[in-house]
Structure 1
Amino acid sequence: MNAHDEGSPEGINPNEPSIARVYDYALGGKDNFAADREMGDRVMELMPEIPLMARHNRLLLGRVVRFLAGEAGIGRFLDIGAGLPTMENVHEVAQAIRPEAKVVYVDNDPVALAHARALLATTGDTHVLDADMYEPERILAEADSLMDLDQPVAVMMLSMLHFVPDEDAHRIVRTVMDGVPAGSYLAISHFGDTPRARKATSFYRASGAQVVPRTPEQVAEFLNGLDLVPPGVVSLPEWRPDKSVPEVDLMGPMAMVCGVGRKP
């Protein structure tokens, strides 16, 4: 039993699973309830690679942020669908390279927000925004008030667009990228459209959660109009791998894909 099972923060229903907390469970975290673990176990029965995918997704975040803060020279980061704090958070990676980097985390899960605010209480250039990803105009307006979106920004949408249906997903991406300056970047990671992913999708939908696995070609459509950063849209371990990348072929070639693009 995790600590949160003994009592939950106000406004949180511990009997209703949360995507952010299921992801935390897949990573081996402790900020989840029995309902989250039950959903996680059911999904992992259908997709045993989920914990490895979660680990690779977190490793990808570190590589992407190091590239953006270092080689790309980006000093502002907007992490939409940030989830629960864990290893190598965006601000920690970015500010280790560029101490003046500003980061805004966006989420609307109460547990994720509580933990993020506690973690960032003493970090002046890092902020937490309680907002729904379906309200991109509001996200842009509030992020601008926190870190002035007058310079290129790195928009992080890791492991979140597969929870959004096509029309809304493209609207969110288009609105956000239209609202940031030239030279900004978009980084995405996304469930691949594999047979096991489709089985897991059916379970998620039966549990009331929308999940839309997409092919690499469909994921690439989110980056239309941007200059793709090599190697393009690839499996997570294949994006600029370094010594941190383990067990490459245990996950399958396209179980989860990713890509980074620059706004010209």
Structure 2
Amino acid sequence: MQTADQPPRPAGTDPARAALARVYDLFLGGTDAYAIEHDLGQQLRAIAPDIDQIFTDERDFLIRACHYLTEHAQISRFLISWAGFPHRETLHDVILRANPDATISYIAHDPLILATLRAEMDTVTGAHVINADIFTPPTVLTHPHITRTLADDTPVCWVLLGIWSHIDDAYGDPAAIVREYVRAAPTGSYVVSSWLTNPTPGSGSTAQRIVDTMRHSALGSGRTFTPTEIATATDELDIVPADLTDDAPGPVPCFLWWQNGPHTECRTTPHDSGRLNVAVVALVARTTPRQATQ
């Protein structure tokens, strides 16, 4: 049942199912969650009282990555599939401040995200909203707007953030999906991604309890990835070193990526996410010479 203090439900929203975007919004201090997401949030906070910080770290990483890509890598075309809503300092705000001629294409399938994005983007020059399922690459790559965006040799950035822990087994191997997007992109393109890991594997670990709770909740999804699985998914990419200078690149906890980069309004003091025995690792990586023919 909808209550007076909840946002209206767009057509197509399932009231019996929690939405990942609304869960993200809840942990970032937003107001778009329904009672079903609040119930899940209470369960997850009982397991990890500081879980909000994980989502904040991931959001801050994404803002810094967008600064890096626009200001240092000169990327002007962004194809974004992120689990959350436009929030506080939006991605298109960051990108368009650095390059007013940039284009931003948000890819979403959830009715609430689509409605929110369309309202937000209505007056934003260079912004587009694409209704497609990011876990089914053919629906994305054959969309007319995406086809036009990828048609020439201008590098793009795929933002694939906060989604992999919630891919249904029916979609197949996440590594194969990542490769399909990498191979469709022009040489010199970038990928921004994040992965939920379990630093202390075991049925009683904090990370495992979190994903088990999500999987058996109204959200219905949740999993972690091992370092080997992440390496397999990114084996056709050149990973940008976390401090932009060293020669030992690799996924790192979100708050460690470009620590000296621009901060966001929701950023807090960097901390050791190991205290939660759970870590979301993140990376920015560059495509190697065009993979589509391999």
- Normalised to the residue count of structure 1, the TM-score between the two structures is 0.92
Q: Which residue of 2 aligns with 1:173?
A: 178
SS of match in other structure, 1:32:
coil
Structure 2 CA distance for partners of 1:27 and 1:122, relative to 1, 3 Å: same
Give the Å deviation of 1:49. Answer: 2.9
SS of match in other structure, 1:87:
coil
Structure with more helix by fraction: 1
SS of match in other structure, 1:188:
strand
Instruction: Report the AA paired with residue 280 of structure 2.
Output: M
Q: 214, 219, 224: which is aligned to 2:230?
A: 219
Alignment partners' CA distance in 1, 2:103 and 2:92:
7
| 1:20-169 matches, cutoff 5 A | 20-142=21-143, 143-145=145-147, 147-150=149-152, 151-164=154-167, 165=169, 167-169=172-174
- Percent of counterpart pairs with the same letter? 30
Structure 2 CA distance for partners of 1:82 and 1:100, relative to 1, 3 Å: farther
Alignment partners' CA distance in 2, 1:182 and 1:6:
42
SS of match in other structure, 1:237:
helix
Instruction: Report the AA paired with residue 200 of structure 1.
Output: I
Q: Is the 8 A contact 1:137 1:175 kept in 2?
A: no
Q: Which residue of 1 aligns with 2:245?
A: none
- Normalised to the residue count of structure 2, the TM-score between the two structures is 0.83
Alignment partners' CA distance in 2, 1:3 and 1:227:
49
Alignment partners' CA distance in 2, 1:124 and 1:147:
16
Give the Å deviation of 1:4. Answer: 6.1
SS of match in other structure, 2:283:
strand
Structure 2 CA distance for partners of 1:149 and 1:28, relative to 1, 3 Å: farther
Alignment partners' CA distance in 2, 1:240 and 1:250:
15
Structure 2 CA distance for partners of 1:149 and 1:159, relative to 1, 3 Å: farther
Structure 2 CA distance for partners of 1:247 and 1:218, relative to 1, 3 Å: farther
Q: Which residue of 1 aligns with 2:280?
A: 256
Alignment partners' CA distance in 2, 1:212 and 1:18:
16
1:204 correspondence with 2:224: no
Q: Is the 8 A contact 1:225 1:263 kept in 2?
A: yes
Q: 168, 171, 187: which is aligned to 1:182?
A: 187
Give the Å deviation of 1:149. Answer: 4.5
Alignment partners' CA distance in 2, 1:212 and 1:6:
29
Q: Is the 8 A contact 1:108 1:131 kept in 2?
A: yes
| Cα deviation digits, residues 81-119 of structure 1 (max 9, x gap) | 453111222211111101111111111111111111100
Structure 2 CA distance for partners of 1:213 and 1:180, relative to 1, 3 Å: same
Alignment partners' CA distance in 1, 2:177 and 2:73:
24
SS of match in other structure, 1:246:
coil
Superposition RMSD in Å: 2.2
Give the Å deviation of 1:2. Answer: 7.4
Q: 251, 255, 268: which is aligned to 1:233?
A: 251
Instruction: Report the AA paired with residue 13 of structure 1.
Output: D
Alignment partners' CA distance in 2, 1:128 and 1:4:
27
Runs (5+) with no aligned partner, structure 2: 200-204, 243-249, 289-294
Q: Is the 8 A contact 1:127 1:146 kept in 2?
A: no
Q: Is the 8 A contact 1:25 1:37 kept in 2?
A: yes
Alignment partners' CA distance in 2, 1:3 and 1:154:
40
- Greater alpha carbon shift after TM alignment, 234-243 vs 31-40: 234-243
Alignment partners' CA distance in 2, 1:73 and 1:236:
22
| Cα deviation digits, residues 40-84 of structure 1 (max 9, x gap) | 111221222321011111111110011111111111001124531
Q: Which has the higher contact order (CA 8 A, sep 6+)?
A: 2
Instruction: Report the AA paired with residue 197 of structure 1.
Output: A
Q: How many pairs does the alignment contain? A: 264
Runs (5+) with no aligned partner, structure 1: none
SS of match in other structure, 1:5:
coil
Alignment partners' CA distance in 1, 2:222 and 2:7:
30
